[in-house]
Amino acid sequence: MLKWILAALLAVLSVTTYSFSINGSKWPGGATHLHVGIAGLSASGKAWSDALRRAAQEWTDKTPFDFTLINSYKDPCLGYRASATGSGFPSGTGDDFNGADFTSTVCGNEFGTNVLAVTLVYTESNQLGAFDITEADIAFNSNGRFDIYDGALDTSRGTDFTRVALHELGHVMGMGHEQNAASVMRASIGNIFTLQSDDIAGATTLYQGFTRCPVSRLDFGRITGSLAAGDCTVQQLVGGGTDTSLTDVYQLDLAQSTRVTFSMNSSTLDSVLVLMNDRSQVIEIDDDGGTACNSQIVRTLPAGTYAVLANTVTSTTGETPCGKVNGPYQLTARYESADLIGLSRSTSLQGGSSTASFAGGVTTNGGASYSNRVTPTQRFDVRGRISIDPAHRGLPGFLVTAAILENNQVYVRTPVGEFVPLGSQASPVPITTSKILNATESVTILGQAVASQFGMNDASVRFLIGYGLNSKPNELYFHEEPINLLITP
């Protein structure tokens, strides 16, 4: 009980508090369409369709949710009439169109006392234990008197249609009623006629993508993690539902279309992998695509940002030996590409600005294709490419190459082609090659190497390349996403 009392006190003392209500039901991908073609004009001569359009556009402009507005008309009761049960709630599949109109009843059921409008929401269960909204229609009560105006509520003119539309569109998105008086989503209408911070915070929380849980960076290579009590759950991630299984969330950024393989291996967990896009729309879930209780997802993904969830089952399954719901795991990310892959997060040593871009990869066939995995006995090259900032092209400068081992020890390549520990270099920026900088610099990091000759049979190495100017000898332009070399038997 003390824990809940303290939580309540913190909420009261906080500078900003919110009271929005969400339950996990939402549109997959954070977007839908809306048919706004309501016929007719208000008493003030303004079109109902324009007011509905303006309300939907305000949600689109101020929150992560996107309404695509369609000028045509769709009857909000069309699908409902075919599936009504008399309970007052939609029970069928609807007609797959989101419509709105003035109706004398809620599609055959009476409006409640003082009810200005009702939103009929159709949902279906999804793979994460929550519900996806598949259709939402708005019935405005034609028994009431509406007009279109801003400012304080003027009962002599009737109810302002736009603020009612704003409220109902919040329900269309999956939001519930709020307790905060300063909110469009408050259960009773008032003088507020635009979205408030509470409304925006609610929609942002519902549609902020996968960042409801802590997010770690995922670069190609492998990561050792662990699922343990206190970690984020799928239920927390999606904002509702019934899936209380633990999950770690990783973000992967792809600069180009790439074929990727994600593997989650554990000797104790019943591993589950979930792949999402940047709006938390599930692309694929795998429970047993790998060997034993391991999981694997293989996809070709277009350029963009993705979330990879290292997940497990909700409760023990009795499997031997991997039926536990918490424990260690190893997450591996591999790729296949016809060219060097773009490397994200360009940066500099001293904070200087640059438009340089970087690419890199590992090839075992002379550049016919690239990946990040080799066997201990395969002969391979590690290559990089730098597109030099136009302002730096043609100037005297230098190239730098570094390798980072799994123990985070850093090695740098010398002008004679050897990798030596970083600490053995006297200068802050160890130069690999001095030269006049071209528009594009191709870098051979390793050529015709064999991992077993270096005593590497199961290892991961990260490579970085960069460049600098002789006029700024302590500045270096490079990338934070590494060129990964994964050596596995």
Q: What pLDDT score was predicted for residue 205? A: 84
Q: Are 290 and 263 in contact (CB under 8 A)?
A: yes
Say if pTM beats, i.e. exceeds, 0.75. yes
In this predicted model, what pLDDT tens digit does every residue of 383-431 receive, in sequence order? 999 999 999 999 999 999 999 998 999 999 999 888 988 876 556 678 9
Residue 197 φ then ψ, to 5°:
-60, -35
Nearest to 195 by CA among 224, 223, 175, 215: 175
Tell me the percentage of the chain whose pLDDT exceeds 70: 89
Average pLDDT, the chain: 87
Q: How confident is the model at residue 157 (pLDDT cuts 50, 70, 90)?
A: very high
Which residue segments constitute the domains of the chain, with CATH numbers given? 19-207 (3.40.390.10), 210-337 (2.60.120.380), 341-487 (2.60.40)
Alpha carbon 148 to its chain centroid, in Å, reads: 37
Whether 234 has a pLDDT exceeding 80, the answer reads yes
Q: How confident is the model at residue 248 (pLDDT cuts 50, 70, 90)?
A: very high
Query: What secondary structure letter does DSSP report for 58?
Result: H
Question: What distance in Å separates the CA atoms of residue 115 and residue 103, rounded to the nearest whole number?
Answer: 12
Q: How confident is the model at residue 88 (pLDDT cuts 50, 70, 90)?
A: very low
Residue with tokens 């593997």: 263
Q: Are 410 and 421 in contact (CB under 8 A)?
A: yes
CB count in 10 Å sphere of residue 259: 14
Q: What pLDDT score was predicted for residue 424? A: 60
Q: Are 219 and 482 in contact (CB under 8 A)?
A: yes
Weakest-pLDDT range from 20-29, 272-281, 370-379, 477-486: 20-29
Q: Are 76 and 139 in contact (CB under 8 A)?
A: yes
